[in-house]
Structure 1
Amino acid sequence: MNHNDLGAGFWSLLHPHTGDLIDFRPTARGFSSDVTALVECEKGRFFVKAVRNRPGGRRDSITRERLINPAAFPISPALRWHAEDDTWHALGFDWVDGRGSDFAPGSPDLPAIVDTLNRIGELDLPKVARDWPETRWNRFAADEVDASHFRGEALLYTDVNPSNLLIGDRDTWAVDWSWPTRGAAFIAPACLVVQLISAGHDAEGAESWASGCTAWMDANPKAIDAFAAATSRMHRAFAERKPDASWLRAMAEATQSWASHRSVAVRAAP
């Protein structure tokens, strides 16, 4: 993609916030965005994220990201402006100098990753997030008792992966707050465990890193067991739905390895 592909209307929408364009560098887009790019312009340098302005999940996610930013800053880069018309909904964040983190065993980034999750765990739940209960794992829980373990009053950032935890010379950031929710605080470090196993850690080693997170240490082990089982069912269902997607198979294997480590039987969800 180059800047011309987006059309004159897109740049007219952004122009009051950016001024004239100097440089446009697309970045890898996630599932929730139509445009992600580093933009250098007359009014500064910004990370720009935009979606087509249509009802549904993508628009809802970028709206959440806009609303949560005051609560997530400075762990998230600051949102400097947003722009919306009938075609586009765009956000402009500070451009931070950071690189994707390394989750592999022995990585020097691991302490900073754990520290970033602890910083997130210390954030207060803002009023806007009280209406965003975490429910994504509920249908994969064995029963209502297991699902009840996922409820809580913590602000959750669950999109834990190497691309979203950025490491700078002096700071670290968690980016892509596209679906923050309210739930049990241990869920964020539990998501880290899954990612670490996927990156090559054994389950015991992955949990040892998660134990550096206060929310993990404060959690009921039965709640973690319930979440491990639900997560395994979730990724198994995703992998069965798209059997050609190797990364989904890898995640299913990682979550099954974790459940096995915890001696959790992963029966089919009811």
Structure 2
Amino acid sequence: MSDIDTEALWALVRPHTGEQHTIEPTSRGNGSDVTALVQAEHGPVFVKACANRPGGRRASIIRERLVNPAVQSVSPALRWHAENDDWIALGFEVVEGRSSDFGPESKDLHAVVDVLNRIAALPLPNEAGDWQESRWDRFAGDGEAVLFEGETLLFTDINPDNVMIGEERAWAVDWSWPTRGAAFIDPACLVVQLIAAGHTPESAEYWAGSCKGWTDADTRAIDAFAAATARMNRVFAERNPDAAWLQAMADAAQAWVDHRIR
């Protein structure tokens, strides 16, 4: 988005921010057109916005607005939202923290697992009734997609940037596409991320084993999900051969499958 495009956005949110002293774009929030830390008359605020036109980004930002009241114990609180014909914007409280470290020697992993357990313990919000997780279904084997169904609120977008570590607590940020599904799915997503960060599959599953959703899961369901994840990541990597991170995720997912079928 050019500066001309964003002028209308900053005018839209000015009633909520007051005078905007500084606007610092951030790299957080790949599903948005604009993410920025704004120092303003009414205090600092993290702004996330997208063009107000039909499509995935608009649907995502609306879903993030709807889920926020249910996840404020583990996520920055939404202070306001604004919308006009051109823009739709969310304004979040600013939290002090850094991206987490998923590496094998990281001291952040206990906090990361705690965040996932806190999410899994949240009551399922009424809005999530229509948010059945289905992204892995087309990559599942015959009859296996049913194993991914459940009544747990899922974050799914687990990566080091989306788990922020503060001095006294941690947060899950960027709730771009929360869904409803089996409780083991978030820990399973963590497994792939940990392998990509340098863990062995055994080490990654050790950390997942600290999550109740994982320990209560049917082994068949985890096997099916691992295979579906490998297929999905392989397709994404093949479609985007220049994206090294997608290939890294595909390699990590395949390493997990190889471990589970030994």
* TM tier, smaller: over 0.9
**Quick one: structure 1 residues 183 and 7, their matched pair in 2 at CA, closer, same or farther if it must change by over 3 Å?**
closer
Say which SS state the counterpart of residue 149 (structure 1) adopts: helix
CA distance in 1, matches of 2:52, 2:191: 35
CA distance in 2, matches of 1:104, 1:11: 38
CA distance in 2, matches of 1:74, 1:14: 25
CA distance in 2, matches of 1:89, 1:236: 34
**Match of residue 83 from structure 1:** 82
Which of 180, 183, 206 aligns to 2:181? It is 183
Deviations 1:170-198 (A, max 9, x none): 11100000100010010000000000000
Deviations 1:220-262 (A, max 9, x none): 1110000000000000111111122211111110000000000
- Are 1:221 and 2:195 an aligned pair? no
**Match of residue 155 from structure 1:** 153
**Match of residue 61 from structure 1:** 60
CA distance in 2, matches of 1:139, 1:9: 40
Deviations 1:39-93 (A, max 9, x none): 1100111111000101010000000000000001121100000000011000000
In the TM superposition, 1:204-243 aligns within 5 A as 204-243=202-241
Say which SS state the counterpart of residue 49 (structure 1) adopts: strand
CA distance in 2, matches of 1:25, 1:106: 32
**Match of residue 139 from structure 1:** 138
- The runs of 5 or more residues in structure 2 that have no matched partner are none
**Quick one: structure 1 residues 5 and 25, their matched pair in 2 at CA, closer, same or farther if it must change by over 3 Å?**
farther
Say which SS state the counterpart of residue 77 (structure 1) adopts: coil
**Match of residue 28 from structure 1:** 27
- Are 1:41 and 2:40 an aligned pair? yes
**Quick one: structure 1 residues 7 and 33, their matched pair in 2 at CA, closer, same or farther if it must change by over 3 Å?**
closer
Say if 1:29 and 1:35, in contact at 8 Å, map to a contact too. no
- Are 1:9 and 2:8 an aligned pair? yes
CA distance in 2, matches of 1:248, 1:188: 19
Shift of 1:29: 4.2
Say which SS state the counterpart of residue 44 (structure 1) adopts: coil
Say if 1:102 and 1:110, in contact at 8 Å, map to a contact too. yes
Q: TM-score, normalised by structure 1?
A: 0.95
Pairwise CA RMSD: 1.3
Say which SS state the counterpart of residue 230 (structure 1) adopts: helix
Deviations 1:122-165 (A, max 9, x none): 00111111111000000000112x11100000001000000000
In the TM superposition, 1:99-138 aligns within 5 A as 99-138=98-137
Say if 1:134 and 1:183, in contact at 8 Å, map to a contact too. yes
- Are 1:98 and 2:76 an aligned pair? no
Shift of 1:31: 3.0
Say if 1:40 and 1:46, in contact at 8 Å, map to a contact too. yes
Shift of 1:8: 3.0
- Are 1:73 and 2:72 an aligned pair? yes
CA distance in 2, matches of 1:8, 1:55: 21
Moved more, 117-126 or 24-33: 24-33
CA distance in 2, matches of 1:6, 1:212: 46
**AA matched with 1:260:** D
Say if 1:118 and 1:214, in contact at 8 Å, map to a contact too. yes
**Match of residue 268 from structure 1:** none
CA distance in 1, matches of 2:135, 2:200: 25
Deviations 1:202-228 (A, max 9, x none): 100000000011111111111000000
- The runs of 5 or more residues in structure 1 that have no matched partner are 265-270
